[in-house]
Structure 1
């Protein structure tokens, strides 16, 4: 069975929420390597050793 182009459902609905991570999480991301930092008390990134900006 084939579907005609006019009968195919839309790929996305305009009302779908396509949101991503909130901007308020930017302070939890290492600026050098992009690791999401879960330990808020650490002064350096565990992956790359970069100093955290607080």
Structure 2
């Protein structure tokens, strides 16, 4: 393989992995925030003690 091709491939894969990790972290944070909001909304419908 050509050295320039290998370098370009490594950079492309590195960028893809970086954005994949950013996306997974963002998805995780979004799910956690959504879950907390659902818990708060459900708490509105519980009778006070």
More helix by share: 2
**TM-score of the aligned structures, taking structure 2 as reference length:** 0.29
Larger Rg: 2
Q: TM-score, normalised by structure 1?
A: 0.28
Larger RCO (CA within 8 A; separation ≥ 6): 1
